Structure 1
């Protein structure tokens, strides 16, 4: 497979940078720091960074059709108005002793989000926001750290990972009903030090996944073949997303948490935002349709 190196776009020193979302309309990158907790908007052209502290731990974000954002916080899922001056609670969190983690909309604009516990025990699930309620999805089973959510370009295949298992599963996805079925092993990384974190799918259907602790993001074909590795000077990449005017820039968030002094000396850019140019463009995120 091919190897490439990502460069640091912003030395943001996030404790746990996550959930990068490219705004096509703004040509800017939104992301969060789960630990801070805070919401950020970066203009890659000028390196200008805007910051909004959050009142509660935030696990993921997604665009809304009006130009606002969904915020999956530990107290519930909120809709942030486009002007950023007000928020509306859509649904309170159903999680007890846990918080929302990785989340995004499917190709039809339904918001899916997983959970995680502080103990890293498999005690949460995968959820879907449906109107004013959150529906628990049983097929995926008990989850410790929900990650890797992504859909194929046609929306008919859903990917999901439970990070501590070192595995990514694929599912048949009914685009009309949002039903998931036919759970199958897509990536088995149990013989490696690679822990699947956030992911994105490009226009050709390849699955790009951040491998937390392994200092790389890897592109896999729809058949699970390793095609390309993106190496970073940060050991804990958390999630990639596609952006830029041509959707051929891969942006990558990383974490700085749980690094000892020696690791920070070797990787001072840990927690930064990285980027790399790729050959196949990504697809814009589908905004929340609710």
Structure 2
């Protein structure tokens, strides 16, 4: 692992959800609290901002060339050509006090995502799967802040994060079923002051997680053993993705919301997009099937 760098200084309030777009060779990510969808092109350093209609929790490249986004009130499509958001559908049964927070695709193009209490107090969050126009509750429920999910390269395992309780869970996965989730890692036992945020899985099945309030990203083996900690010059590390030509550049989102002036002075890159190099590459994510 080498070369930690700030590649975009943007003062994100709550930067989240980086995803490598293999079709366009750019990174998409969001600033949830400022209702912004960002892109960053590592080849030339260019970037852009599109204003979303509401809080935007995640973005994924879709099979029709558009992007699929999770906003506070449901799923939207976004056209990179016109910068327009279009409402696709509501999430049945979701409370108006909840919002969508994080997501991934599996190898079949299904979209796994979570909801959470926008006030970060009540245990109203749960996980869902979106499969070609149908949304179904699937996975753990009764969670205050959901993060992930994330799947491994062959989509045989899926990881769910319960951030407030400092736990990452794992379940077996196939095209028809998701198994019962069990404990994968108790973050509190290793990083008592940190909260696991967005997870990502590399091509060997190792699980990375951002450590919110932990100034680091941690990598765990498929057996749940801590094998690497990368200290980063920002306090709140939210999520990383693997990108670049060899999928060995980690693009890392961070947050500065709620930080004091002194905390910002101590961690001045909080709210920036960071990168570092990894030894084990990621794998190309499937596009969301629409």
* TM-score normalised by length of structure 2: 0.94
Moved more, 234-243 or 87-96: 87-96
Contact 1:5 1:230 in 2 (8 A): no
RMSD (Å) for aligned C-alpha atoms = 1.5
Equivalent-residue separation in structure 1 for 2:85 and 2:14 (angstroms): 23
Aligned to 1:136: 137
Contact 1:221 1:227 in 2 (8 A): yes
Contact 1:32 1:40 in 2 (8 A): yes
Task: Please list every run of 5 or more consecutive structure 1 residues that lacks an aligned counterpart in the other structure.
Answer: none
Contact 1:76 1:89 in 2 (8 A): yes
Aligned to 1:93: 91
3-state SS of 1:283 partner: coil
| 1:31 Cα deviation from its structure 2 partner | 0.8
Contact 2:167 2:183 in 1 (8 A): yes
Equivalent-residue separation in structure 2 for 1:119 and 1:234 (angstroms): 22
Query: How many residue pairs get matched?
Result: 285
1:141-152 paired onto structure 2 within 5 Å: 141-152=141-152
Which of 51, 76, 79 is equivalent to 1:81? 79
Say if 2:230 is the partner of 1:230.
Answer: yes
| 1:79 Cα deviation from its structure 2 partner | 1.6
Contact 2:147 2:198 in 1 (8 A): yes
Equivalent-residue separation in structure 2 for 1:201 and 1:84 (angstroms): 32
| 1:90 Cα deviation from its structure 2 partner | 2.1
Equivalent-residue separation in structure 2 for 1:287 and 1:187 (angstroms): 28
Say if 2:244 is the partner of 1:244.
Answer: yes
3-state SS of 2:10 partner: coil
| 1:72 Cα deviation from its structure 2 partner | 0.3
| 1:197 Cα deviation from its structure 2 partner | 0.5
Aligned to 1:253: 253
> In the superposition, relative to structure 1, how do residues 171 and 248 fare at CA in structure 2: closer, same or farther (>3 Å)?
same
Task: Please list every run of 5 or more consecutive structure 2 residues that lacks an aligned counterpart in the other structure.
Answer: none
Contact 1:76 1:92 in 2 (8 A): yes
3-state SS of 2:264 partner: helix
3-state SS of 2:199 partner: strand
Contact 1:63 1:285 in 2 (8 A): no
| 1:33 Cα deviation from its structure 2 partner | 0.3
> In the superposition, relative to structure 1, how do residues 168 and 134 fare at CA in structure 2: closer, same or farther (>3 Å)?
same
Equivalent-residue separation in structure 1 for 2:132 and 2:282 (angstroms): 28
Aligned to 2:279: 279
